[in-house]
Structure 1
Amino acid sequence: MQSFKYLLFMAALLFFAAGCKKSLDESVYDFYSPNNLYKTPADAEAAVTGLYGHLHSWDFYKSPALFSEDVDHDHIVGPLWNMGGVGAGNYTGSFVINGLWHGYYYLISQVNTIMDKVPAIKIEPDSTRNRILGEAYFFRGWSYFNLVRLWGAVPIRLENPTNGSRDMGRSSVEEVYQQAINDLQEAEKLLPPKGGSFTGAVGKVTKGTAKAMLAKVYLTMASGALSGAQLSVRGGADNALYTYTKDVVKGHEQMDSKTLFAKARDKALEVMQSKEYDLMPTFMGIWGRANKNNKEFLWELQTMDNNDYGTLLQNYYSAPWYGGNSYYWMSANLYNSYSDTDARSSDGIFHQYFMYGAWMFYPERDSLKYQQAPGGYTAKFYKEYSHPFTKKYWIGTDTEIGANGTTVRTGNRDCNVPLLRYADVLLMFAEAENEAEGGPTSRAYDALNAVRQRSKETVAKGLSQQAFRSLVFDERGKEFYQEANRRFDLVRWGVYLQVMNKLATVENVIKTRENKNLLYPIPQDELNANKLLKENNPGW
């Protein structure tokens, strides 16, 4: 871990030493001065480590990736002052939407420079060179995967402009997916396995990360292309189970859904059979400062307890008094969908917290369980202020907190960002196996039930293909709440509009959406600068 932090520090020093000014304009392509700094193995290492470092910027996990991908779905709510923008479907001109676009293309431009300069550097052994290039391929594939999911058809840049012009038209949705696949396949070939001699510092992506991300790409394409299937999703004002006939996602019409489901299944199975990863024994054992980089994580963004490399996850998501500032919380619908024994709600939620001079508890129906607060105080249920805040991002405090309402330090903290977990691999396998085989197999049940039983849920059995599909979808919502997965799952399954509009308005947050909300708008400055991007996404 210390070596990775050192590399981040060195990457930052080289960045500023090169005199490179970060700009929202995509025309700034050089992370380092290629002629001066791409000469030694240390330069190459610093350059690829800079890709990880950029995820800490205001293009990504300082805010945009949290205020966009993870606020625009059915399972999250918050105060009106915070949910009136992207949280209400208002994307135009949003700094978080614009930041993500520029952030992904900025990563791509740095990868293109690495691809151009690193092969000429003498690096021994070859395994180290391969790992550096593998990391670069991974980041470019991951960037295009996210770009196509969020914006649809976009330009594919595999080389940086040399003549000052960066005019480039869109490639089709299929072509962008294929580029993501090509890059991730190269990453899979070049990256070492977890724990290998040349893996690099803690927090680096590995062969298993590339395999799992490939599985996610195939699964996204497959579910988007599936025609006529039905999916049952809990929601609406009454939190009932509603069955929808899914839409085919635009741009996926010509894709072979069954073949892609089989590819997703097989790639996830390779990760499972590697035995490099496993579920943590308990759900809460995944989280917290002491549990960083455990066996369940295939990829998490490394952090430090400072403003440069800390995150705001605790500040945004945790309960008041526990470092949170009431930015977001789990919807009551989602909370009420958990069984009483499910550890993800019984252990994974703050049931008591101090706010506005009083102890509060959640949920109201469990008053006998949660009214007795620390220090002999009595907690109360306030309809306006009692909410289910997640414990996932509570990292604790370095000093003991008294029971009199003393607040803990907020702001950027040493809280890693979960980017890919083994639970996701298991649920991807279960979903893909069910679709590829025409119904659930024993292997699909084993994968699904491993996740369910870890959280003390009942064993699933005897389900139809449609019922199993719906249960896996439901399980993903419960397992990955506030990990930036839900919107992607709703969109790829072609039920985003149906689910959101069935909710309409929930807890005073507007959830109604239009067709235009299926994709983000391209930033206006990009449209102005790139003459071959002739129009924005539909409706924008």
Structure 2
Amino acid sequence: MKRFSYLILLLASFTACKRSLDEKAFSAIYTQDFYKSAGDAEAAISAAYGSLYVMYSSGAPLFASDWSADQTFPRNVVGRNSLPMFTYDAPYSVQTSFGRSNESPMEIWKRAYQGIESANWVIDKVPAITMDTVRRNSIVGEAYFLRGFYHWMLTKNFGSIVVKTAPTNSIDGAFVGSSPISEVYNQIISDLSTAERLLSDYSASFVKGRVSKQSAQLLHAKAALYNERWDEAQKSAQAVINSGKYTLMPSFVDLFTAAKKDQARQEVLFDVELNNTTNPIRQSQVHYFYAPLGVSDYNKGGAGGIYVFSAFYNSFAANDARKQLLATSYTNGSGVVVPQANIDTRLATKDLVLMGKYKDPNSVGAYASNNLYLLRLADAYLIAAEAEARATGPSTSAYTNVNAIRTRAGLPNLTEGLGKEAFIDSVLVERSKEFYGEGDRWYDLTRTGKFLTVISTAVNADYPERTVTARNKYFPIPQVEINANPKLEQNPDWK
């Protein structure tokens, strides 16, 4: 099935002149003898998850968003610096020329549509397979979740995008025009609602990395929040909290301790499962770039390519437990403590801060065993608080939800009696401190419009000026895709 999915994508991506092709895509060669057994169904859903692992292996979903925001920045090298400086173009020419396209939005576009194609085949074919009904429903539910997730990844990055809800079995079927953002969200939420009906409640018996009913509810809540469906977002987020299937890890530091990642499953609803072995290879360069150069107490081999803005580090209260995963020094492989000014002498700024959410002292070179968290319970609390405040103002339950996160961080309850806007701003600050380095902050800034004022203040000696404009709310659709698909148009602000 993977071979077929990639074949169609290649046809869609590289066929610049469709009129000159007379060949028929014989998809039946791959589908008539597949999707017959329970084993086929399991292989098919594994392929749909596979695109997720490839996407996050390069780090593109985290790099494209976090380097655009106000918390972390990459070492100022050609290709990477175009993201924090907003100098990228529709062809992503610099990233392509310098071999960094797999770290760019291009990678998100490519891998998301591969995942959608795989999910569409599961949704189309697996319901007819004779197998255990509960497991079959779960597989189809996972496919609906993944299709919703991949479309959500695309629309929050590119705005108006192509919605694909059927497998591609012809050349003509590979060419589809984009849909308005509101229609994209309608499809995402429809898929997630279907997933909620088909998936089971979470239990410890779940295969690691697979999604539950609560996973679909939380993504539903987040998609609704992004689309300003406040009541729907609050209801779905609160349903996750009230289910009792997940609980917050008592310690924020333990949540991101590699050796305790199985315990962390009590909070994590969806993640990218990684390991420090080469068989199977489940690797991401995220860990490698956040670790200091060489061997250290972070990783047994790091590139030292990503750091935290000192202003963000200084914004934490001294007793905030989340600050413990930020540091101004580290211990190298020889047991010597490296001070802040010497963390990375390749940079102009010496005011460097390290981020330790992806530490793994037992890593094997670039192979680390930390999982990358995509959805966790803390999000449900903060979505419920924000959505309720936006709909009706800050109620007692909204305070209760945000205070659950503050309590875990070791902070006092949020000040009572805040006005609506002050309360919402407080929740956004809480989100910033809770999810730094997890690829979330940029989308909070773009969905609220705050990116236009916040980004210009996140500067240092390596990035003394960052000029962001309204069109940077979304990345340009890769020009190569527009060239290949006559029905696809560039986002208006990038034309």
TM-score bucket of the superposed structures, by smaller chain: 0.7 to 0.9
Could you tell me how far apart the structure 2 residues matched to 1:292 and 1:32 are? 42
Q: CA deviation at 1:24?
A: 5.7
Q: Could you say if the C-alpha distance between residues 267 and 484 of structure 1 is closer, same or farther in structure 2, counting changes exceeding 3 Å?
A: same
Which digits, 9 at most, give the CA deviation of each residue in 1:149-189, with x for residues without a partner? 11111121212333312222221111001000000000011
Could you tell me how far apart the structure 1 residues matched to 2:382 and 2:225 are? 11
Matching residue of 2:396: 442
Question: Could you tell me whether the CA contact under 8 Å between 1:329 and 1:387 is conserved in 2?
Answer: yes
- Name the aligned partner's letter for residue 290 of structure 1: A
Q: Could you say if the C-alpha distance between residues 534 and 488 of structure 1 is closer, same or farther in structure 2, counting changes exceeding 3 Å?
A: closer
In structure 2, the gaps of 5 or more residues are 15-24, 96-100
Matching residue of 1:269: 238
- Name the aligned partner's letter for residue 309 of structure 2: S
Q: Could you say if the C-alpha distance between residues 132 and 65 of structure 1 is closer, same or farther in structure 2, counting changes exceeding 3 Å?
A: same
Could you tell me how far apart the structure 1 residues matched to 2:233 and 2:316 are? 28
How many residues align structurally? 456
Matching residue of 1:103: 111
Q: CA deviation at 1:23?
A: 6.0
Q: Kindly, what percent of the aligned residue pairs are identical? A: 29
Which digits, 9 at most, give the CA deviation of each residue in 1:354-395, with x for residues without a partner? 469963335x9xxxxxx9xxxxxxxx9x98445221111112
Could you tell me how far apart the structure 2 residues matched to 1:432 and 1:212 are? 13
Aligned equivalent of 2:371, options 416, 424, 428: 416
Task: Say which SS state the counterpart of residue 72 (structure 1) adopts.
Answer: coil
Instruction: Tell me whether 1:299 sits opposite 2:267 in the alignment.
Output: no
Q: CA deviation at 1:67?
A: 2.3
Matching residue of 2:75: 79
Which digits, 9 at most, give the CA deviation of each residue in 1:203-244, with x for residues without a partner? 21000000000100111111xxxxxxxxxxxxxxxxxxxxxx
- Name the aligned partner's letter for residue 215 of structure 1: A
Matching residue of 2:361: 396
Instruction: Tell me whether 1:183 sits opposite 2:191 in the alignment.
Output: yes
Aligned equivalent of 2:65, options 60, 66, 69: 69
Instruction: Tell me whether 1:313 sits opposite 2:320 in the alignment.
Output: no
- 1:48-447 alignment, distance < 5 Å: 48-57=45-54, 59-81=55-77, 83-92=80-89, 93=92, 94=95, 95=101, 96-124=104-132, 126-165=133-172, 166-195=174-203, 200-222=206-228, 260-293=229-262, 294=264, 295-307=266-278, 308-320=281-293, 321=296, 322-323=298-299, 324-345=302-323, 347-354=324-331, 359-362=337-340, 384-385=349-350, 387-397=352-362, 409-438=364-393, 440-447=394-401
Could you tell me how far apart the structure 2 residues matched to 1:410 and 1:533 are? 42
RMSD value, Cα: 2.7
Could you tell me how far apart the structure 2 residues matched to 1:114 and 1:90 are? 39
Task: Say which SS state the counterpart of residue 330 (structure 2) adopts.
Answer: strand
Matching residue of 1:403: none
Task: Say which SS state the counterpart of residue 457 (structure 1) adopts.
Answer: coil
Question: Could you tell me whether the CA contact under 8 Å between 2:176 and 2:485 is conserved in 1?
Answer: yes
In structure 1, the gaps of 5 or more residues are 1-13, 223-259, 365-370, 372-379, 399-408
Question: Could you tell me whether the CA contact under 8 Å between 1:318 and 1:394 is conserved in 2?
Answer: yes
- Name the aligned partner's letter for residue 190 of structure 1: L
Question: Could you tell me whether the CA contact under 8 Å between 1:520 and 1:537 is conserved in 2?
Answer: no
Could you tell me how far apart the structure 1 residues matched to 2:58 and 2:471 are? 26
Could you tell me how far apart the structure 2 residues matched to 1:523 and 1:31 are? 30
Which digits, 9 at most, give the CA deviation of each residue in 1:413-466, with x for residues without a partner? 22211111111111111111211222x212111111111121112221222212
Which digits, 9 at most, give the CA deviation of each residue in 1:314-357, with x for residues without a partner? 21213442223221111111101101111111x21234314699
More helix by share: 2
Question: Could you tell me whether the CA contact under 8 Å between 1:212 and 1:267 is conserved in 2?
Answer: yes
Could you tell me how far apart the structure 1 residues matched to 2:252 and 2:438 are? 14
Q: Could you say if the C-alpha distance between residues 23 and 160 of structure 1 is closer, same or farther in structure 2, counting changes exceeding 3 Å?
A: closer
